[in-house]
Amino acid sequence: MEPHRQEHRLGAGRRREAGITVIGFLVLASLFGLVGFAGLKLVPMYLQYYRLDTVLKDVQKDLDGRNATPGQIRSALNRRFDVEGIQLPRDSVNITQSRNGYAVQIQYESRARYLADIWLLVTFDKQVEIQR
């Protein structure tokens, strides 16, 4: 046999395979699946939060400097919540008097069932000040 072929043939048995095993692939796939499933549950919660943030900023921009009352602020918020499809518990919106106007704080928890008795809980807290 030629020398260059003989060397190649002897080295072929010593070469180790590189790559991932089936079990390793299944473990990785299940981990990515669990994280992806959690993401699917969390995305709607955060989308609602960003819509809520936009509503608060819009109400602040509209009512700033107009000497709005707490009733007018609450009415403007409720109208925008209806348009955006945001549903919050009644006690999650707090309007308190501040030094220069009114502080509007929205604080609530959002929950989503993850697996069996495991829940995902996210707490949101956003505050703006509406000047008189």
pLDDT one-digit tens code per residue, 56-73: 999 999 999 899 999 999
DSSP-assigned letters across all residues of 14-50: TPPP-S--HHHHHHHHHHHHHHHHHHHHHHHHHHHHH
In this structure, are residues 107 and 92 in contact, taking their beta carbons and an 8 Å threshold?
A: yes
What percent of the chain clears pLDDT 90, i.e. is strictly above it? 81
The 10s digit of each residue's pLDDT in 90-119 is: 899 999 999 999 999 999 999 999 999 999
Partnered with residue 106 across adjacent β-strands are 93, 126
Residue 16 confidence class, pLDDT cut points 50, 70, 90: confident
- Confidence at residue 132, expressed as pLDDT on a 0 to 100 scale: 87
Q: Which among 59, 97, 54 is positioned nearest to 78, based on CA atoms?
A: 59
Q: Could you state, in order of their start, the residue ranges of all structural domains in the chain?
A: 43-132
pLDDT surpasses 80 at 4: no
* pLDDT bucket at 9, cuts 50 / 70 / 90: low
Percentage of the chain modeled with pLDDT above 70: 89
Q: How confident is the model at residue 25 (pLDDT cuts 50, 70, 90)?
A: very high
| pLDDT at 12 (0 to 100) | 54
pLDDT at 19: 82
- 11 band by pLDDT with thresholds 50, 70 and 90: low
Q: Cβ(107)–Cβ(30) under 8 Å?
A: no
